[in-house]
């Protein structure tokens, strides 16, 4: 049926009128009662989301990393294979300037270890050495610090001297407000004159938990991890008999090694010198596949790179992707990167750390005390139609830390809402395996990271500037951080003194 020209014009006018009416009067109202934020990146978002959610690439990559390369722990063949895999993938995805950066460091290789009760009963306790534990032949009595509360180390220093300290991996001993890290408990044991350290996993059924000790190399006293069940057994025996004599023997090796950071860029067209960075370490602990921590985050970074390379074709700033080597034994790869790229640090708009992000129960953004960035991310939450929280905190336990200390604006993807149990769960045990990681979490982390990087690169006025050393010190200067800073300063001074004595 033919429609007369007049009717056609009338219909066109009606359509124009209706769409104008709808856009002015009927735009969806968001929860806060404001008009919904326009999304200037909608078309790119749709391509990114559509691609990631119709592809298995991110899980395929995780499967290769875990099942073919194993732990990827520093010094293993799988570490080098993983580094080459990331480089090849970045090149295949179309990133530019893809390259290795060598990371020389003091490495560690697991030898044999045994922990025996000598008196008053004889028993062997299954255990694993903690990375950077020095080789040992030690006989000493046990002292039980239980959760390892800081105040107990101070109060019981005399009791600790010469003995092997037992402390659990409880992250908030005696309801402490801050996370008391393994390395603090180990360091406080050193300062009190302990001769050895037993780290008891605070979760039942997960076996022993691992985790590096020491400071830029070997620790000063041997350290082993035991399962909760064996730790409780030791505690009961000590309580019953009043004293327990143990023997700890190990043949672990500390020696120079080389690792690799893998770096690749999507160059910006307007301000190629301005950088948005996202990264994650790829080394796991040698006792596990490190599937959740870190590989779920590493493949999310790689997947974000893949889709941004394909669909974010007009990036004004450069987006740089980094896969860090040897994080687990001291943030070594990222620390060396920050030292070696000092002349570029002023140009980094933001470093987004994705450690273990694909396995994190919530994908929120934890900013490291960047108050004026919070509103920017909150606007993006609306614009992206993706509900996430923006938190503010400071901690030293992943690759954002060297950037944070250098004043670079940083944040991490993970839960601002803390799961009630607290701690690492399967992380750092041999059960951090591929089967624990779901496709859904990987896709969510990859898409979220890609969409954020897109926005950080496109933001016209970026409201965060690199902090001066004084401003960094000020950020760390709250009562909790102060306590942490002071204790780690004392621990570092201890190592320095030992080092001078030995040479
Ligand atoms: Zn990690």
What is residue 336's predicted lDDT score, i.e. its pLDDT? 98
Q: How far is the CA of 327 from the centre of ligand 1 (A)?
A: 7
Mean pLDDT of the chain: 91
pLDDT value for 77: 97
Q: How far is the CA of 428 from the centre of ligand 1 (A)?
A: 9
- Indicate the pLDDT class of residue 421, thresholds 50, 70 and 90: low
Query: For the chain, what's the residue count?
Result: 503
Residue 180 near residue 150 (C-beta atoms within 8 A)? yes
The residue with greater pLDDT, 177 or 196, is 196
The answer to whether residue 9 scores a pLDDT higher than 60 is no
Residue 423 scores a pLDDT above 90: no
CA of 41 relative to ligand 1 center, distance in Å: 31
User: How far away, in angstroms, is 328 Cα from ligand 1 center?
Assistant: 7
CA–centroid distance, residue 50 to ligand 1 (Å): 28
Q: What pLDDT does residue 477 have?
A: 84
297-311 vs 77-92: helix axis angle to the nearest 10?
20
Ligand 1 centroid from CA 401, angstroms? 12
CA of 283 to the centre of ligand 1 (A): 8
> Higher pLDDT residue, 225 or 8?
225
Ligand 1 centroid from CA 311, angstroms:
29
Q: Give the distance (Å) from ligand 1 centre to CA of residue 224.
A: 20
C-alpha pair distances (Å), 164 with each of 124, 190, 225, 466, 497: 16, 10, 13, 44, 21
CA of 183 to the centre of ligand 1 (A): 15
- Between CA 498 and CA 489 the distance in angstroms is 14
247 and 125 Cβ atoms separated by less than 8 Å? no
- 2 has a pLDDT exceeding 60: no
All residues at 6 or more sequence positions from 213 whose CB lies less than 8 Å from its CB, including other chains: 130, 131, 132, 133, 182, 183, 186, 197, 219, 223
pLDDT tens-digit series, residues 237-249: 999 999 999 999 9
- pLDDT, one tens digit per residue, over 273-312 is 999 999 999 999 999 999 999 999 999 999 999 999 999 9
Q: Percent helix, strand and coil across the chain, each rounded to 5? A: 40, 20, 35
Centre of ligand 1 from the C-alpha of residue 459, in Å = 29
Cα 331 to averaged position of ligand 1 atoms, centre (Å): 9
Q: Do 358 and 296 form a contact (C-beta atoms < 8 A)?
A: yes
Distance 20 CA to ligand 1 centre (A): 51
Question: What pLDDT is attached to residue 503?
Answer: 59
CA dist 182 and 170 (Å) reads 9
Distance (angstroms) between ligand 1 centre and the Cα of 293 equals 5
From CA 290, how far away is CA 473, in angstroms rounded?
33
All residues at 6 or more sequence positions from 299 whose CB lies less than 8 Å from its CB, including other chains: 58, 59, 61, 62, 65, 358, 442, 446
Angle (CA) 311-312-313 rounded to 5° is: 95
Q: How far is the CA of 281 from the centre of ligand 1 (A)?
A: 7
What percentage of the chain reaches a pLDDT higher than 90?
82
Q: What is the pLDDT of residue 214?
A: 87
CA of 294 to the centre of ligand 1 (A): 4
Per-residue pLDDT reduced to its tens digit, 45-96: 999 999 999 999 999 999 999 999 999 999 999 999 999 999 999 999 999 9
Q: Rounded to the nearest whole angstrom, what is the distance from the C-alpha of residue 355 to the centroid of ligand 1?
A: 5
Read off the pLDDT of residues 96-141 as tens digits, 9 standing for 90 and up: 999 999 999 999 999 999 999 999 999 999 999 999 999 999 999 9
Split at pLDDT 50, 70, 90, the class of 502 is low
């Amino acid at each position: 049926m033919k429609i007369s020209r007049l009717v056609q014009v009338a219909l066109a006018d009606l359509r124009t009128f209706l769409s104008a009416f709808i856009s002015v009067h009927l735009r969806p109202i968001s929860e806060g009662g404001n008009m919904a934020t326009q999304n200037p990146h909608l078309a790119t978002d749709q391509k990114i989301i559509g691609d990631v959610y119709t592809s298995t690439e991110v899980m395929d990559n995780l499967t290769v990393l875990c099942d073919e390369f194993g732990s990827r722990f520093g010094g293993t063949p799988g570490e080098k294979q993983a580094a080459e895999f990331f480089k090849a993938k970045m090149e295949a995805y179309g990133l530019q300037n893809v390259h290795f950066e060598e990371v020389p460091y003091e490495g560690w290789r697991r030898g044999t270890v045994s922990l025996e009760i000598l008196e008053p009963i004889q028993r062997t306790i299954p255990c694993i050495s903690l990375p950077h534990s020095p080789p040992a032949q030690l006989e000493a009595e046990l002292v039980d610090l239980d959760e390892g509360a800081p105040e107990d180390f101070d109060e019981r220093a005399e009791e600790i001297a010469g003995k092997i300290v037992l402390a659990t991996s409880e992250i908030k001993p005696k309801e402490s407000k801050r996370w008391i890290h393994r390395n603090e408990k180990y360091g406080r044991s050193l300062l009190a004159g302990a001769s050895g350290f037993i780290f008891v996993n605070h979760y039942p059924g997960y076996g022993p938990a691992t985790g590096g000790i020491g400071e830029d190399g070997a620790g000063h006293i041997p350290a082993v991890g035991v399962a909760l069940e064996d730790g409780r057994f030791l505690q009961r025996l000590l309580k019953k008999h009043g004293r327990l004599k143990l023997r700890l023997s190990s043949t672990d090796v500390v020696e120079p090694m080389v690792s690799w950071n893998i770096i690749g860029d999507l160059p910006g067209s307007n301000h190629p010198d301005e950088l948005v960075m996202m990264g994650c370490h790829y080394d796991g602990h040698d006792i596990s596949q490190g599937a959740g921590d870190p590989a779920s985050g590493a493949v999310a970074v790689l997947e974000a790179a893949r889709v941004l390379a394909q669909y974010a074709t007009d990036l004004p700033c450069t987006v740089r992707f980094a896969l860090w080597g040897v994080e687990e034994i001291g943030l070594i790869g990222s620390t060396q990167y920050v030292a070696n790229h000092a002349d570029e640090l002023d140009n980094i708009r933001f470093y987004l750390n994705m450690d273990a992000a694909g396995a994190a129960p919530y994908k929120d953004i934890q900013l490291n005390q960047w108050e004026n960035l919070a509103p920017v991310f909150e606007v993006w939450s609306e614009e992206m139609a993706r509900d996430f929280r923006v938190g503010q905190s400071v901690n030293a336990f992943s690759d954002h830390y060297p950037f944070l200390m250098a004043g670079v604006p940083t944040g991490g993807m993970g839960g601002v809402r803390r799961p009630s149990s607290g701690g690492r769960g399967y992380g750092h045990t041999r059960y951090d395996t591929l089967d624990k990681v779901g496709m859904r979490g990987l896709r969510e982390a990859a898409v979220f990271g890609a969409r954020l990087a897109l926005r950080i690169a496109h933001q016209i006025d970026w409201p965060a500037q690199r902090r001066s050393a004084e401003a960094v010190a000020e950020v760390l200067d709250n009562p909790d951080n102060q306590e942490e800073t002071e204790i780690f300063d004392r621990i570092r001074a201890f190592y320095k003194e030992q080092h001078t004595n030995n040479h």
